[in-house]
A = this chain, B = another copy of it.
Amino acid sequence: MATMQRLQNTGLELFYAQGYYDTSIDDILKKLDLSKGAFYYHFDSKEDYFIQIIQNLLARKIYSTLIEPIEGHDNPLTLITKCFDDAMETAVHNEMDYGCILSNFLTEFNGKNEVIMRHLNEIVTVWEVNLVTTLQKGKFNGYLDRHVDCEAAATFLMSSYFGVRTLMTSAAPSAKKYRFMSQLRQYFKSIEAKSVNS
């Protein structure tokens, strides 16, 4: 694999596990057995490096795990349930889970680096727009109750997912997942379309 790819992959891995500010370039280079020269040949600075990682790896990762799985014409509530379940199941089985990578970076850079924050917020916006659209389509197709505020539901869903991934890192991730999913279903039941054949 090309050096540049290896640098980005290892960078994302370490930044996720240890945080951006607590991971030195030397850490990454040591792990890959590379030198400063190799790094600064491919990237202008640590910040430039991270921004490329965001665009090349993080954005795709979020897309493939949280956005693409909820696309389709089926019941959005079913799709979202399965999507969250899968994402959390992956986390449960990952002994090196440090929470939602996007949420973690949002927390770390908030108020510290506006440039990076803009790139991260862009990903958040894409997710939000897709969620809202999917929910609206679901409403149009008769899966959701007519009175549902789709923007509000999207915010609620994103919030709860970010939060539960943080909570899961503390203790008993499997139990946390189970409890979360049960209440997510409860919430979904309250916004789904009321049965017409009464």
Contacts and interface: CB of A to CB of B under 8 A. Distances in A.
B98 A111 contact: yes
A96 to B, nearest CB: 8
A153 interface: yes
Interface in A118-173: 121, 124, 149, 151-153, 155-156, 158-164, 166-167, 169-171
A107 B99 contact: yes
A152 B166 contact: no
Copies of this chain in the oligomer: 2
A103 B163 contact: yes
B112 A22 contact: yes
B167 A155 contact: yes
Nearest to A117: B170
Contact of A152 (B99, B170, B179): B179
Complex A-B, nearest 9 residue pairs according to Cβ-Cβ distance, in ascending order: A163-B163, A159-B163, A162-B163, A156-B183, A190-B190, A152-B179, A159-B164, A160-B160, A155-B179
Contact of A190 (B124, B171, B189): B189
A110 interface: yes
Contacts of A183: 149, 152-153, 155-156, 187
Contacts of A159: 159-164, 166-167, 180
